[in-house]
Every structure is written in structure tokens, then in C-alpha cells.
Chains A and B, each alone.
Chain A
Amino acid sequence: DAGVIQSPRHEVTEMGQEVTLRCKPISGHNSLFWYRQTMMRGLELLIYFNNNVPIDDSGMPEDRFSAKMPNASFSTLKIQPSEPRDSAVYFCASSSGGPNQPQHFGDGTRLSIL
């Protein structure tokens, strides 16, 4: 079974550039989550979607961050303009919905902003 697929796996770019991270959830899952992981702050939930609709974006750090889910099989997280403090590993996860359902994680995108 295909798991959650994220691309790219690694991204290195200069500050000020636009960064787009992509995620394909597991087929049939109706909830999608974006997380950020750093040494200092650990694992942080940025935003999550149910049935392609954003439900809670309270974790999005600031207006430079935006996320979309145009259909059930694709989501993007965009940072514009990027800053060095955005350097982190970004994870996408999906689940079949409900608090009793486990989330399935992708392998993450390691983002470095120079």
C-alpha cells in the first residue's frame, strides 16, 4: 500500500524565495495534517483539513505560510517569502478521520533556508 508521499525530500533555497511543499495523502483518508519539527520546538501542528476544508490553522506561524487542499489527493504548504528560521522538517500526515484514528506520516521534507 502506498503511504503518504511528500515531495521534495530535501529543499535548499535562499531566503526570500518561495517554497512549495507537496503532499499526497493515503487514498480514502479524509483528514490531512501539516506538521513542523525542529530541535527547539519539537513537533508542531500547523494546519489540518477535513474533506479538503481547513479546520484549524491556529498553528500557522504567520501570514507567510499558506496551505491548500484543492482535492482529496493533494495538498501544498507554501512559504513566501522564506526566512532562515523556517528551516525545519515538515511532515504531512493523513488519517481516516475521528480522534480514534491514527495518523499516518510521510517521510518529511527537510527544508533549509540560507
Chain B
Amino acid sequence: AQSVTQPDIHITVSEGASLELRCNYSYGATPYLFWYVQSPGQGLQLLLKYFSGDTLVQGIKGFEAEFKRSQSSFNLRKPSVHWSDAAEYFCAVGAVAAGNKLTFGGGTRVLVKP
């Protein structure tokens, strides 16, 4: 079965600084990878997804993520963080063997300092 690990539970970053959130997955074949963001009181919103092709994918809100097969990672990055990026971020993996289910990581909560 596939699994997803987000090693950082909390990250604090200054506004304007860069941000990188780590995601490691475990799955034997090529996974389908997703990043979601959850603002307080809201549901999860899709930031970006990776299926195949270019390993650097662009998403909404200025985020990007890079798939590295050799490291089983799909880290999320943003060059310059805005105060509105304070939220919880979830990495998820889909797999053919899992049907239509996604496996979510535990989430990383991002705090943005002024």
C-alpha cells in the first residue's frame, strides 16, 4: 500500500522569504501526486498535480513542486511567501492499486511572520 510522509508538522517563515515543504511517498510504481492547501475554516483546495512528463510542475498561487523519483519526493516550493499563504498544506498520492482513493500526508502547518 502507498504511504505519504510530511516530515515537518510546523514551519514558520518570514513574509517574502522562500518556502519549501517536504513530501515523501512510498509506492512501487509511478504515483499520481497532489498538493492541497487548507485555509482555516475551509476545505482543501488543489494547488497542483503531477502525473507524468516534466518533473517540475506549476500550480496556483505561485507554487511549484518537483517530482524526484530517485528520492521518492514531491516537495512544494514558493519563492516569496505572502501572509495569505499561512495555512495547512497536504501532500497526497493516488495509485492504480488504490482505485480512486487518495492517501494524504499528515499535513504541514505554515505560519508567516510579518
The interface of chain A, by Cβ under 8 A from chain B, is 4, 31, 33, 42-43, 45, 48, 50, 55-56, 91, 93, 95, 97-108
On chain A, the residues within 8 Å of B98 by CB distance are 99
Q: Which residues does chain B contribute within 8 Å of A33, judged by CB atoms?
A: 101
Q: Which of B17-25, B67-75, B79-87, B89-97 contacts A (4 or more CB under 8 A)?
A: B89-97
- Contact among B36, B42, B100 for A107, CB-based, below 8 A: B42
Interface residues on B, range: 20 to 34
In Å, the complex CA distance between A107 and B90 comes to: 16
Contact B95 A104 (CB under 8 A): no
Cβ B51 vs Cβ A100 within 8 A: yes
* Closest partner residue, chain A, to B104 (CB atom): A43
- The number of A-B residue pairs with CB atoms under 8 Å apart is 57
- Answer yes or no: B53 CB below 8 A from chain A CBs: no
Residue from the list B43, B51, B100 in contact with A108, Cβ < 8 A:
B43
Interface residues, chain B, CB within 8 Å of chain A? 32, 34, 36, 41-46, 49, 51, 90, 94-96, 98-102, 104, 106-107
* Chain B residues whose C-beta falls within 8 Å of the C-beta of A100 in the assembled complex: 32, 49, 51, 94
Given that A50-B100, A56-B99 are contacting pairs, would A105 and B43 also be in contact in the complex, using a CB cutoff of 8 Å? yes
Q: Which 3 pairs across A and B sit closest by C-beta, in order of nearness?
A: A105-B43, A99-B94, A100-B32
A50 neighbours in B (Cβ, 8 Å) = 99-100
Instruction: Determine how close the nearest CB of chain A comes to the CB of B71; give it in whole angstroms.
Output: 21
* Chain B residues positioned under 8 Å from A91 (CB to CB): 43-44
What are 29 A-B residue pairs whose CB atoms fall within 8 Å in the complex?
A31-B100, A42-B104, A42-B106, A42-B107, A43-B90, A43-B104, A45-B101, A50-B100, A55-B99, A56-B101, A91-B43, A93-B43, A93-B44, A95-B100, A99-B95, A99-B99, A99-B100, A99-B102, A100-B32, A100-B49, A100-B51, A102-B34, A102-B49, A103-B46, A104-B46, A105-B43, A106-B43, A107-B42, A108-B42
